[in-house]
Amino acid sequence: MLYEHMELLESIGLDLLFAAIFFFIGMAIKDVLKQGNVPPFGRKIVWLVLFLGCAGFITKGLIQISWEGAGIG
């Protein structure tokens, strides 16, 4: 295998690892909220914060890709 292919596989694997981590964090939060009898407003706030964290991570990746494509970074 060429080095370029290994770098691509590592990049895809890292992205899948982060997706799996976010999934497991979400499942853990869901379980804690269910067992703690958290009110609906509190649940919405917790899920909003989790979503914003994921959205920030995805936005950072998109900005990084666009900057590398434009030759900035």
Q: What is the pLDDT of residues 19-32, one digit of tens each?
A: 899 899 889 999 99
Strands of the chain (E only): list them.
Answer: none
- Which has the higher per-residue pLDDT, 45 or 15? 45
What mean pLDDT do residues 65-71 have? Answer: 82
Specify the pLDDT at position 9: 86
How is residue 32 written in tokens? 């804690």
**What is the rounded radius of gyration, in angstroms, for the C-alpha atoms of the chain?**
17
